Amino acid sequence: MQSLKMLVRIAFVVAASFARAAEPPAPAPNHGQSEGVTRGKYLVDTSGCHDCHTPFKMTETGPARDMERMLSGHPEQLELPPAPPANGPWLVSMAGTGTAFAGPWGTSFAANLTGDKDTGLGKWTSRTFIDTIRTGRHLGRGREILPPMPIPVYKNFTDQDLTAIFAYLQSIPAVKNKVPVPRPPVAAAAAANTAAGS
């Protein structure tokens, strides 16, 4: 019952965040930041990036975004058991942090978007970032980026907007957090192992 209440609270917070994104947002104030960074913050704040990439934590007043881990993705300390099987019409599961998702594609973990050089985007260039969003492939040329990342929407950003978003992400505090690699769906993993071993 307690966990049901928590889920309801999380659902409310998530729904509220989407609702806020739909409202006309006020432009972010400029505190001496470059125009690109300011524009990037505005786009990040209004495009739902926090919804998946900033984890929720439980507080005395209910779930809230953990801004000390802002945009650092799924917390590496939170090891998750295998996702429940996707049966019937309910195909997708979400962890309470809002940073891990399971569905027919397997289990995906929101990436660390901060500028940490070892675990985030610290070594990326704006070209790497643009290539990634345009192609929907990790680093612009690797595996496909998984749901629920809205690549079909974000790939329509202009190069200028993507450059601004990247500039903002590089300006926020770097968080060292090594996000787990995605897990394949159980059936696909078994098939791949069989093929590789045959």
Partner 1 sequence: MIRGGLNCLLKLALVGVWLPIAARADGARGIPQHLGDTGLYVAGSLSQVNSDVLPFSPQYPLWSDGAAKRRWIWLPPGTSIDASRPDAWEFPIGTRLWKEFAHGRALETRYLERAADGNWRFGSYVWNADGSDAVLAPAAGLRDLPAPLSMTRESRDSPGERYTIPSENDCRACHEGAPVAVLGFSALQLSPDRDPLAPHAERLAGSVDLRQLAARGLLRNLPQEFLTHPPRIAAANPAERAALGYLHGNCGNCHNDEGPLAVLDMTLAQRVAAPAPGAVLRSIVGVQSQFVPAGAPADAARIAPGHLAASVIAARMSSRDPLEQMPPLGTAAVDREALALVARWIEGLPVHSSSN
When asked if residue 159 is in the footprint of partner 1 (CB under 8 A), the reply is no
Among 46, 80, 131, 157, binds partner 1 (CB under 8 A): 131
Contact residue for partner 1 among 15, 35, 64, 127 (CB under 8 A) = 127
Query: Coil, strand, or helix at residue 119?
Result: coil
* Region of 3-11, 16-24, 45-53, 130-138 interacting with partner 1 (CB under 8 A): 130-138
Question: Interface with partner 1 includes 36 (CB under 8 A)?
Answer: no
Nearer to partner 1, 10 or 145 (CB): 145
What are the tokens at 141?
């040329």
- Exactly one of 13, 45, 78, 140 binds partner 1 (CB under 8 A); that residue is 140
Q: What is the 3-state secondary structure (H, E, C) of 135-161?
A: HCEHHHCCCECCCCCCHHHHCCCCHHH
C-alpha 142/C-alpha 55 separation (Å) is: 25
Kindly state the smallest distance separating residue 11's Cβ from partner 1, in Å.
28
7: left (phi over 0), alpha (psi -120 to 50) or beta: alpha
Site for partner 1 contains 103 (CB under 8 A): no
- Asked if the peptide bond before residue 81 counts as cis, ω within 30 degrees of 0, the response is no
Q: Show Cβ contacts of residue 17 under 8 Å, excluding neighbours closer than 6 positions.
A: 48, 50, 51
Residues 6+ apart with CB under 8 A from 184: 106, 192
Residue among 134, 148, 157, 186 that touches partner 1 (CB under 8 A):
134
Under rule CB under 8 A, residue 135 binds partner 1: yes
Asked if 27 is part of the footprint of partner 1 (rule: CB under 8 A), the reply reads no
Is 76 an interacting residue with respect to partner 1 (CB under 8 A)? no
- Report residue 123 as tokens: 């070594």
- The span from the CA of 156 to the CA of 162, in Å, is 10
- 3-state class (DSSP) for residue 102: strand
C-beta of 190: minimal distance to partner 1 in Å?
10
Q: Residue 48 or 182: which CB sits closer to partner 1?
A: 182
Q: Is 22 in the site for partner 1 (CB under 8 A)?
A: no
**Which residues form the interface with partner 1 (CB under 8 A)?**
106, 123-125, 127-128, 131, 134-135, 137-144, 146, 181-184, 188-189, 191-192, 195-196, 198
